[in-house]
Amino acid sequence: MTGGQIAGAATLPSAPPAMPLQDTVLLPERLGELTGLDGFGLGGELLATFLAAFIVGNLMLAMTGVAGPWAKRKITAAFTDRIAVNRLGPAGLFIILADSVRLLSKELVIPENADRPAYDLAPIVVASSALLGFAVIPMGSGIHLADPEVGLAYVFAVSGIASLGLVMAGYASSNKYSLLGGLRAVAQNIAYEIPLVITGMSIVIFAGTLQLGEIVSAQAKPLLTIAGISIPSWYALVNPFAFVLFLVANFAEVGRNPFDTPEAPTEIVAGYQTEYSSVYFVLIYLGEFLHIFLGGAIIATIFLGGPAGPGPAALGIVWFIIKIWAVFFATQWLRSAVPRVRIDQLIEIGWKGLLVLSFANLVLTAVIVGLIA
């Protein structure tokens, strides 16, 4: 019995079985076949790859568009017993278009003491670094841009670039609130990055690989069967403690309540984005939302079985988006329900609480896996 388990666990990463959820064909190749572009040699392949990247990028942009001007207001309104946007279109949905035009047509006011190249680059860094992470996320229904072997490490690495953008924004604005906001953002991101990665590592122990496609297919195995219903071994069920740790660290990492000290409106106006207006503000805002969704995508991928769900595998993207939105909804729920912690409390929670707990989780997971095997 135990021997079989060991062998099963060991051969898991190297043997790709015909899992219904695992798409071995990535989106660029699939598009290449679909459009006949792969018949045009390298140029056609590159075009198909670019097309695939364009689809993934705009899918995320569309989700941010729905979340920022519309869903966020609706959710907060529901929590505070209001109605919120309801004038334009069904359920106020056209506010998305109206708001994007409104925000983009604002005058761009650049503060006189701004450090120009850095001030202009910061919004671009924040927005594009958040988008980069989605390249390796398996979203189901064949929407999976790339599946490198270092997948999980790559996601953590690129999501860390945003800190650079935030400190650039904070420092180059030449505003005291911005400076404080930028410093806080970095102190917070680096404090919670480590619990995040360490907890992710405890999942890597189970999966035995960093490749996100493999991590997803490893979760398709049944954990146990109750009354004929097979429960998949989603790592949130295998190790709920790690799931909670990761969730908390993720909320801090994307700077949401109760950890939204970098832009605490009652303390430092709007933090690093105080001096940003017009399209620059839109880009920073976009980057923040993309980061929430990227966090949700990582959680869905390594804890909630990625695009897995009832029904045919073609529904994968629907389940995946539902899981991402569940995490987004949780951030908005906390925004309405939980008070903000002070910056010194935040640092202590990170370094004295979550870091120690995440190491305990890692060591315990390793010991338990070692003893069972």
Partner 1 sequence: MCVRFEPSNVTEMNDWIAIGALALVGVLIPFGMMAVSYLLRPTVPETSKRATYESGEIPTGGTRIRFNIQYYMVALLFVVFDIETVLLFPWAVAYQDALAADIPLVRALGPMLLFVAILLVGLAWAWRTGAVQWARTPRQLESDRP
Q: Which stretch binds partner 1 (CB under 8 A): 80-88, 172-180, 231-239, 248-256?
A: 172-180
Q: Which one among 217, 250, 261, 274 touches partner 1, defined by CB under 8 A?
A: 274
Binding mask 287-306 for partner 1 (x = CB under 8 A): --------------------
Q: Which stretch binds partner 1 (CB under 8 A): 15-23, 257-265, 310-318, 344-352?
A: 344-352
Report how far apart the first and last C-alpha atoms of the chain are (Å, whole number): 11
Q: Which of 134, 290, 292, 304 is nearest to 215 (CA)?
A: 304
Q: What is the DSSP string of 83-102?
A: --S-SSSGGGTTHHHHHHHH
Question: Helix or strand or coil: residue 295?
Answer: helix
- Window 177 to 206, contacts with partner 1 (CB under 8 A): 177-180, 183, 186-187, 190-191, 193-194, 197-198, 201-202, 204-206
Give bridge partners of residue 226 from the DSSP assignment. Answer: 229
Taking the least distance from each CB to partner 1, the nearer of 92 and 133 is 133
- Window 5 to 34, contacts with partner 1 (CB under 8 A): 6-7, 9-10, 12, 26-29
CB of 50 to partner 1, least distance (A): 5
Cα gap 188→184, rounded to integer Å: 6
CB of 337 to partner 1, least distance (A): 25
Give bridge partners of residue 225 from the DSSP assignment. Answer: 230
What does each C-alpha distance from 192 to 100, 160, 261, 347 come to in angstroms? 32, 11, 13, 9
CB of 232 to partner 1, least distance (A): 19
Buried b (16+ CB within 10 A) or exposed e, 187-199: bbbebbbbbbbbb
Distance of CA 155 to the CA centre of its chain: 9
Q: Which one among 2, 105, 225, 266 touches partner 1, defined by CB under 8 A?
A: 105
Beta strands of 181-296 (E only): which ranges?
222-226, 229-232
Q: Which one among 21, 37, 52, 166 touches partner 1, defined by CB under 8 A?
A: 52
- For position 129 contacting partner 1 by CB under 8 A, the verdict is yes
- For position 236 contacting partner 1 by CB under 8 A, the verdict is no
- Let me know the angle formed at the C-alpha of 298 by 215 and 217, rounded to the nearest 5 degrees: 20
CB of 165 to partner 1, least distance (A): 11
- Window 132 to 161, contacts with partner 1 (CB under 8 A): 132, 134-136, 145-149, 153-154
Taking the least distance from each CB to partner 1, the nearer of 53 and 318 is 53
CB 167 within 8 A of CB 190: no
Q: Which one among 169, 215, 248, 282 touches partner 1, defined by CB under 8 A?
A: 282
Q: Which one among 35, 77, 359, 364 touches partner 1, defined by CB under 8 A?
A: 359
Cα Rg of the chain (Å, integer): 22
154-158: long-range pairs with CB below 8 Å, 24+: 155/212, 155/294, 155/298, 156/193, 156/196, 156/197, 156/200, 158/129, 158/132, 158/133
- Kindly state the number of chain residues that form the binding site for partner 1, as judged by CB under 8 A: 100
Taking the least distance from each CB to partner 1, the nearer of 93 and 121 is 121
Q: Which stretch binds partner 1 (CB under 8 A): 85-93, 222-230, 239-247, 358-366?
A: 358-366
- For position 53 contacting partner 1 by CB under 8 A, the verdict is yes
- For position 71 contacting partner 1 by CB under 8 A, the verdict is no
